[in-house]
A = this chain, B = another copy of it.
Amino acid sequence: MEGKTVPNIVVGRLPLYLRTLQLMNQEGRRVTSSQELGERLGISAAQIRKDLSQFGEFGKQGTGYNIDFLTDQLRHILHVNKVWDVALVGIGDVGHALARYQGFSNRGIRIVLLFDNNPQIIGTIVGEYIIHDISTMVVQIRDAGIKIAMLSVPVDQAQSVTNQLIEAGVKSILNYAPINISVPSGVRVQYIDPVLHLQRMTYYLE
């Protein structure tokens, strides 16, 4: 699966480079440099050059990077030159915001299936999609061949829903429930918990 030996931390910076290049492109820009990228991101130009050099030669000394070209290359490297279908489980406030979030388009992510266990909202529409009964989740995800899920269920349901997602063949989970979940090797989890980020900053406040 992971033929390349690029460190995780380097992989983690690539989406940031891609996002910045896509914004530059929207600004009508054609060329950039590791210096400029570095200033926008608070990362050293040397680090950016080193990160990118792990994947090839994308710029010429003195002329910088062609934004279109480097964008395409990064989309290819990150496998978002295609669009990934994603299942969203748990349509409370957070799930609702995710289902309607405009920031996925053009970035390789498309939510296609919503699930919840609340009879009062099953069958209703959020964004462009109907909310399905979570009891149909394993079959629907498996049939659709979906490999990515976003999890915004309550803490006490996070692990059991995770187990079902894995049973359904999901390999990547973005977990919004503020609890660590256990997954077998070969399945990846990323976490979003605003409190973790806030507490990283309160440490530095008086």
Within 8 A of B (CB), among A2-16: 2, 8, 11-12, 14-16
Within 8 A of B (CB), among A106-151: 107-109, 147-148, 150
Q: A172-B201, A188-B201 are in contact. Are A100 and B93 (CB under 8 A)?
A: yes
Q: Does A199 contact B (CB under 8 A)?
A: yes
Q: A97-B93, A192-B192 are in contact. Are A107 and B199 (CB under 8 A)?
A: yes
Quick one: copies of this chain in the complex? Answer: 2
Q: Does A30 contact B (CB under 8 A)?
A: no
Q: Does A46 contact B (CB under 8 A)?
A: no
Beyond the given A96-B97, A148-B205, please list 16 additional residue pairs across the A-B interface where CB-CB is below 8 A. Answer: A2-B204, A12-B196, A15-B200, A18-B199, A20-B180, A40-B180, A78-B202, A84-B205, A103-B193, A103-B195, A108-B198, A148-B198, A172-B201, A172-B205, A188-B204, A192-B197
- Whether B19 and A196, one on each chain, are in contact in the complex, defined by CB atoms closer than 8 angstroms, is yes
A112 CB to closest chain B CB, in angstroms? Answer: 14
B residues within 8 A CB of A174? 194, 197-198, 201
Q: Which residues of A contact B (CB under 8 A)?
A: 1-2, 8, 11-12, 14-16, 18-20, 23, 40-42, 77-80, 84, 86, 93-94, 96-98, 100-101, 103-104, 107-109, 147-148, 150, 155, 171-172, 174, 178-180, 188, 190-206
A40 CB to closest chain B CB, in angstroms? Answer: 5
- Whether B190 and A201, one on each chain, are in contact in the complex, defined by CB atoms closer than 8 angstroms, is yes
8 closest A-B pairs by beta carbon, nearest first, are: A172-B201, A15-B199, A190-B197, A93-B97, A97-B97, A15-B196, A79-B202, A107-B195
In the complex, which residue of chain B has the Cβ closest to the Cβ of A43? B180
B residues within 8 A CB of A15? 195-196, 199-200
Complex Cα distance, B79 from A41, in Å, reads 28
B residues within 8 A CB of A192? 192, 194, 197
In the complex, which residue of chain B has the Cβ closest to the Cβ of A103? B178
In the complex, which residue of chain B has the Cβ closest to the Cβ of A8? B200
